[in-house]
Amino acid sequence: NAGVMQNPRHLVRRRGQEARLRCSPMKGHSHVYWYRQLPEEGLKFMVYLQKENIIDESGMPKERFSAEFPKEGPSILRIQQVVRGDSAAYFCASSPRTLQETQYFGPGTRLLVL
Amino acid sequence: AQTVTQSQPEMSVQEAETVTLSCTYDTSESDYYLFWYKQPPSRQMILVIRQEAYKQQNATENRFSVNFQKAAKSFSLKISDSQLGDAAMYFCAYRISRADKLIFGTGTRLQVFP
Would you call B106 an interface residue with chain A, using a CB distance cutoff of 8 Å?
A: yes
Q: How far is A24 from chain B (nearest CA, A)?
A: 16
**Please, which residues bridge with residue A8 across strands?**
none
Q: Specify the pLDDT at position B44.
A: 87
Mean of pLDDT over chain B:
93
Helix (H, G, I), strand (E, B) or coil at A84: helix
pLDDT beneath 70, residues of chain A: 1, 97-101
Helix (H, G, I), strand (E, B) or coil at A23: strand
Cα angle for residues B48, B111, B50 (degrees, 5° grid): 15
pLDDT in tens, B12-50: 999 999 999 999 999 888 888 999 999 998 888 999 999
Interface test with A, best of B38, B102, B106, B108 (most A CBs within 10 A): B102
Would you call B90 an interface residue with chain A, using a CB distance cutoff of 8 Å?
A: no
Would you call A55 an interface residue with chain B, using a CB distance cutoff of 8 Å?
A: yes
Q: Specify the pLDDT at position A28.
A: 84
Of B33, B45, B50, nearest to A105 by CB-CB distance is B45
Please tell me what DSSP assigns to residue A26. Answer: P
Q: Test A43 with B95 for CB contact under 8 angstroms.
A: no
Q: Specify the pLDDT at position B43.
A: 84
Q: Specify the pLDDT at position B41.
A: 87
Closest CA in chain B for residue A31: B99
Residues B47, B91, A79, A69: what is their CA dihedral angle, to the nearest 10 degrees?
30
The better pLDDT of the pair B97, A9 is held by A9
CA-based nearest residue to B70, from B41, B28, B106: B28
